[in-house]
Structure 1
Amino acid sequence: DENYILVDICANLVNKKFSRDLESVIQRATDAGVKKMVVLGTSAHTTKEALRLTRMHPGTVYCTAGIHPHDAKSWDDDTLEVLRSVASSPECVGIGECGLDFSKNFSSPECQVEVLEKQIALACELQKPLVLRERAAFDAMEEVLSRHAGRLPAHVVLHCFAGSAAQAAAYVARGCYLGVGGHLWKEPEVLRGLPADRLLLESDSPFLWPNARALPAALRAALQPRALRLLERYCSFQRNEPCCLPAVLQLTAAVLQLGAQDLALRSTYTALSIFGLD
């Protein structure tokens, strides 16, 4: 049975790769069972664009308000008010994507920490979930989270988790939730260490395409016909789509040795609860 009800906690639908056929992309996703999608804000501009999308697709598309660590250096006197204004809308369900990305350092580490702390303060003020990105910055992120311990919002999500099993365990011990995309099947020991009720599914489209051809035979066998067809027909290295989420679900369930429907129910319940989606 491939009739799932899924929530994609990160679909970058304001990306220009979707500008020509966004309606079809959203329709394909909802037909595939992806009934709700969260578009993460990454700059003042994309945050406002994400809010605009929620108005065009009420009840299906939601957004967050945030400044990506790559864009931390763009923070100016108006940024906080832009984020606060968007975040005051009911369609905006979190603060982020914010965090630390030391893998590229498009903004300096000091600037990234400063801008992250401003967004943590906003999430606490508005009592909205915090959506974090962390790349090659685990120790620094632990330091920031420790500094704010007791003052963090009720729900903290590590979107598109890409760290080690030990790092995953440390985040879970803090009460964080981890976003799982089409790449984590390559790290089965990381996935297997995660409690199923701490997992959220995400396409991270148009990025993180789950390449079915690269899968080991045992995992490829876990893909059901419909999910595989959607993956092969509509998703590629050039552009992943939210309709890949049933495939991400089936791969993740196979690694965890859970039924796909069981994991779908758990991850959807978690996403609806955390983000307060109606």
Structure 2
Amino acid sequence: MDWLQIFVLSIVQGLTEFLPISSSAHLILVPVFTNWDDQGLVFDVALHIGSLSAVVLYFRHELVGMTTSWCRSVAGRGTDDEARLAWWVILATIPVGLAGLAFEDTVQGVMRSPLVIAGGLIGFGLLLAYADWRHRGTRNEYRLSWRDALWIGFAQALALIPGTSRSGITMTAGLLLGLSREGAARFSFLLSIPVIVLAGGLEILHLADATVPVDWGALIMGALLSGVSAYLCIHFFLVFIKRIGMQPFVVYRLVLGVALLWLFGGA
């Protein structure tokens, strides 16, 4: 894998992991349009470690508070807003974890088609457009109920379909449930932490019995580039959506989806 491929894949992963435009779709499409060989599971794990490091660093203060309060609640010393938020993140992660185990082979096989990606980009993009257009919510992530968290968790399971976008579908669900744009985005970003850990852990299990050469320079560079771009993406996205909303991302999804239908629809 040359340095151009490392740079492109790392930046694509870092930017699209947290934008509502589907990182999995973009990582599938990059080799399609460039004729590059598949980057392999080892490099995918490195990219996800970079993205995970970025979101943990960005929300480090919230995570410390949530973890401390959650431990107190487990010990029977009361439950505050931070402890509840930690519980809701755990609850919302369960559906996607179960769905991922049940449908892993299907997701990794026939569903990686450009036409499936196009359908996900367009269909769930229109749903995001509706949720953002009608949103009147003012609640932040600390005002979620357990029912809200569970609904968002079920929505997150749909992100196994390439083109859906994990961040996009969870933000859509949050908006429909009455969260503010920023609240929906922040809860989506917090949800990404256990999801990335689970997905990365599954990939590592797949690698356990495989003998593959390790290019440590490529892995370190990929993780660093992915982490830096992901951190900047989170910061500027939260600033951006408060003023402009989700519609620019909807337009991008629709344009990309239509382009994929045009390019691959006759195949």
Q: TM-score scaled to structure 1, two decimals? A: 0.26
State which structure, 1 or 2, has the greater radius of gyration over its C-alpha atoms: 2
Bigger helix fraction: 2
Q: Which has the higher strand share?
A: 1
* More relative contact order, 1 or 2 (CA 8 Å, 6+ apart): 2
TM-score (norm 2): 0.27
